[in-house]
Amino acid sequence: MRILLAIPVLVAALACGSPKLSRREAEGDIRKDYPVQIVVTIPESASAIKGSPEHARLVALQEAVAAKGAFAVTRKAEGDRETFAFKPGASAPKEASLSAKGYELPAAEAEFVRALRIEYMRDSARVTYQIRLSRPTAWFGLFQTLHPGVRPGETKERHASYRREGRSWVLQNTDETLKKAR
């Protein structure tokens, strides 16, 4: 008789309890947004103070694109600043696309690896997951010029936010800023 009385209490407790977001569900949701394209952005025009780290970065960028003959670079000194103008050359890559930031060249892809941990708040959850740098292109060397020490196969952590709606979890956003690879 006691068992029969305990069953409705147990069912009510389970119905009111909060279901946890499973790692498998989170990985399935996040995986849909990957792989993403990692691009190298070459500005149409950029200016920096001579001797600054930004100036050194622009000089390195100029040397790297000029070596491949892909872009023609003109430099113009203006007092303590120097302006660099990058224009596609005769052997400009077909993959180069013009965006608001400049010319974008595909350097590699980042692929989803796995969810590392899930942190629960009241009606939300934060998933920390890992991505891996993969499939470098011919422009990956240029990417390494701008980001020294980056190697294919390296992993980085990213985060995703979930909101609970009833008994299910809905992916709200991730902190990934790159576009899905085509």
Q: Which position has the token pair 């491949």?
A: 68
Cα–Cα distance, 182 to 174 (Å, whole number): 19
pLDDT tens by residue, 123-179: 999 999 999 999 999 889 888 888 888 899 999 999 999 999 988 999 999 888 877
CB neighbour class for 92 (10 Å; exposed up to 12, middle 13-18, buried from 19)? middle
Which residues, listed in sequence order, are joined to residue 17 by a DSSP beta bridge? none
Q: In what order do the strands lie in the sheet with 71-78?
A: 45-49, 81-88, 71-78
Taking the whole predicted model, whether its pTM rises above 0.75 is answered as: no
pLDDT at res. 179: 78
Q: Contact, 40 vs 142, CB < 8 A?
A: yes
pLDDT tens by residue, 26-54: 999 999 989 999 998 889 899 999 989 99
Q: Which position has the token pair 């899905």?
A: 180
- For the chain, the farthest-separated pair of C-alpha atoms sits apart, in whole angstroms, at 93
pLDDT band at 3, cuts 50/70/90? low
Q: For strand 81-88 and strand 45-49, is the pairing parallel, antiparallel, or unpaired?
A: antiparallel
Cα–Cα distance, 13 to 81 (Å, whole number): 69
pLDDT band at 13, cuts 50/70/90? very low
Concatenate the DSSP letters of all residues of the chain into one string: -HHHHHHHHHHHHHHHSPPPPPHHHHHHHHHTT--EEEEEEE-SEEEEETTSHHHHHHHHHHHHHHHHTSEEEEEEEETTEEEEEEEE-TT--TT-EEETTEEEEEEEEEEEEEEEEEEE-SSEEEEEEEEEEE---TTHHHHHHHSTT--TT-EEEEEEEEEEETTEEEEEEES--SPBP-
Q: Contact, 116 vs 107, CB < 8 A?
A: no
pLDDT at res. 182: 65
